[in-house]
């Protein structure tokens, strides 16, 4: 039954062929065919437009019949509806032939009026889907919803820093770069170091840049433990030794040479790859044996990112 109703609705649209809106609301196919609008006047009718419109409707009806026939060959209940549509196609063909034969025929006008064919296509209505139409109505009548208000003031999430902070036994902050691009920021960006700070790096191999936050011009003599702490961290976070698993850094072993200079002597060459810097001025070399620095490394790792 559902298929029959759907087919009848399809055939009704096929025969109506863009008739005025009241015809689309008719449920009876016969009543729709017999319903006519205002009769055409032979004195004012546009015969050329009438021929074109009749030919257009005939072409549409032929295409729809072919399409529906292909889809509904195995549906016996569609045979009767197809016969009615074919009869309507024949009537339209008769109208086209009559219009092509004469310019002013009362019979042609009568047939055109009976079929509801005008001398111009009906105005097309904009296609608006039911869902989009409802959405437009809701949007037009509903107040706009605002998102949650943003909290004023500084963000509660701290920005990511390009280094990990450690503390020497004397309380001096030691910054260790996280990765190659972070090393460039730590060594060359004035937000993270001062020119008077001390700078360290494992000599001759890739590794983290290390900055001692101290302006003491005689730091190696006045606070040798802070310099030794920074040198051990520079060796630990480099390719000079095999890095132990996380949490067991104090078990590291191996020897490395670490370069020590002031941060003002470090510069970034143009076009150099991340982490590569140039040194100028006085550079001191410190020898480090991590196998003998287990207690020092354990103490330093306990202060990681605790420094404020």
The pLDDT tens digits of the residues spanning 139-190 come to: 555 566 666 776 666 666 778 899 999 999 999 999 999 999 999 999 999 9
Distances (CA, A) of 125 to 37, 228, 257: 19, 85, 84
Give the integer Cα–Cα distance in Å for 140 and 143.
8
Give the pLDDT band of residue 83 (cuts 50, 70, 90).
confident
Give the pLDDT band of residue 25 (cuts 50, 70, 90).
very low
Which range, of 45-49, 205-209, 215-219, 296-300, averages the lowest pLDDT?
45-49
Give the integer Cα–Cα distance in Å for 227 and 18.
91
- pLDDT tops 70 at residue 225: yes
Give the integer Cα–Cα distance in Å for 212 and 303.
15
**Residue written as token pair 């390719």:** 239
User: How large is the greatest C-alpha to C-alpha distance in the chain, in angstroms?
Assistant: 121
- Give the residue-averaged pLDDT of 104-132: 65
- pLDDT tops 50 at residue 27: no
- Give the residue-averaged pLDDT of 38-65: 81
Which range, of 27-31, 86-90, 298-302, 303-307, averages the lowest pLDDT?
27-31
Nearest to 214 by CA among 201, 205, 224: 224
CB 29 within 8 A of CB 108: no
Structure tokens at 241: 């030794």
- pLDDT tops 60 at residue 11: no
Q: For residues 102 and 53, which has the higher predicted lDDT (pLDDT)?
A: 53
Beta carbons within 10 angstroms of residue 96's beta carbon: 19
- pLDDT tops 80 at residue 258: yes
Most confident option among 18-32, 60-74, 86-100, 275-289: 275-289
CB 55 within 8 A of CB 96: yes
The whole-number pLDDT of residue 159 equals 84
Most confident option among 78-92, 138-152, 216-230: 216-230
The whole-number pLDDT of residue 76 equals 63
The whole-number pLDDT of residue 153 equals 64
């Amino acid at each position: 039954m559902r298929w029959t109703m759907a087919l009848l609705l399809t055939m009704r649209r096929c025969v109506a062929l863009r008739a005025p809106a009241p015809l689309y609301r008719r449920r009876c196919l016969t009543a729709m065919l017999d319903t006519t609008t205002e009769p055409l006047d032979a004195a004012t009718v546009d015969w050329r437009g009438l021929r074109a419109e009749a030919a257009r409707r005939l072409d549409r009806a032929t295409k729809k019949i072919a399409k529906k026939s292909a889809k509904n060959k195995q549906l016996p209940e569609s045979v009767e509806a197809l016969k009615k549509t074919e009869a309507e196609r024949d009537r339209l063909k008769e109208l086209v032939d009559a219009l092509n034969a004469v310019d002013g025929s009362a019979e042609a006008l009568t047939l055109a009026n009976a079929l509801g064919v005008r001398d111009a296509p009906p105005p097309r209505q904009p296609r608006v889907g039911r869902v989009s139409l409802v959405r437009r109505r809701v949007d037009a009548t509903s107040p706009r919803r605002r998102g949650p208000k943003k909290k004023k003031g500084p963000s509660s999430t701290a920005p990511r820093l390009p280094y990990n902070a450690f503390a020497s036994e004397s309380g001096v902050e030691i910054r260790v770069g996280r990765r190659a691009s972070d090393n460039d920021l730590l060594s060359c960006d004035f937000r993270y170091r001062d020119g008077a700070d001390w700078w360290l790096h494992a000599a001759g191999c890739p590794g983290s840049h290390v900055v001692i936050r101290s302006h003491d011009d005689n730091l190696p003599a006045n606070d040798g433990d802070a310099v030794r702490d920074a040198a051990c961290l520079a060796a630990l976070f480099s390719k000079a030794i095999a890095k132990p698993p996380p949490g067991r850094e104090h078990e590291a072993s191996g020897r490395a040479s670490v370069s020590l200079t002031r941060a003002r002597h470090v510069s970034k060459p143009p076009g150099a790859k991340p982490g590569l810097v140039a040194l100028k001025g006085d550079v001191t070399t410190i020898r480090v044996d991590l196998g003998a620095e287990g207690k020092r490394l354990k103490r330093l790792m306990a202060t990681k990112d605790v420094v404020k």
